[in-house]
Amino acid sequence: MSELKLGDKAPNFDAETSEGKINFYDYLGESWGILFSHPADYTPVCTTELGTVAKYKDKFAERNVKVMALSVDGVESHKGWINDINETQDTEVNFPIIADEDRKISNLYGMIHPKADDTLTVRSVYVIGPDKTIKLMITYPASTGRNFEELIRVIDSLQLTAYQKVATPANWKQGDDVVISPSVSNEDADKMFPKGYKTVKPYLRMTPQPDKK
């Protein structure tokens, strides 16, 4: 079982996928990435998830994010399943699905939780930055479909806070006010945030999102 934590390097791997043999790092290049796992092919919740991700292609592209899915079944099974996804979800799957029949990548990333199932993966999600470090990890049970609007929201936050001295408050979304990092003094905040800021408490200072006009 992998013990990956936030900030760790995302393990690189070579894999057979629905789009041919792929090296994970080469596939990501300088982009952000999402790696997410599915318990098995031809499962109902996963069918809706993969269809949703395909429909989010433009949203991911706008954020320089590449997506790769994983299932423990083989390539031929994936290709048949993709046909079903395209038909039932009215879309075209436009990203690779890893064939992880030997569970090598699943174990590398800690996607198999024996107390849930000895062989099938849980619904793991890893968001990986351009520096190949893990920025986010979320694990859902097999019975609960993922919220990809939430993943878009989190990526927006990660990308904003990677380059600005701010954090995003609860339920934040693009365009909302943000929190000035505690490490920034008021003197520096006056220079760094020309839109101004509101001091709610000495440790809680709110300012308009700095990269929005």
| Active site residues per annotation | 46
CA distance 199 to 195: 13
Residue corresponding to tokens 């470090």: 133
For 98, the enclosing helix (H) or strand (E) is strand 97-99
Residues 6+ apart with CB under 8 A from 170: none
What is the phi/psi pair of residue 110, to 5°? 70, 35
Count CA atoms closer than 13 A to 110's CA, side-chain side: 13
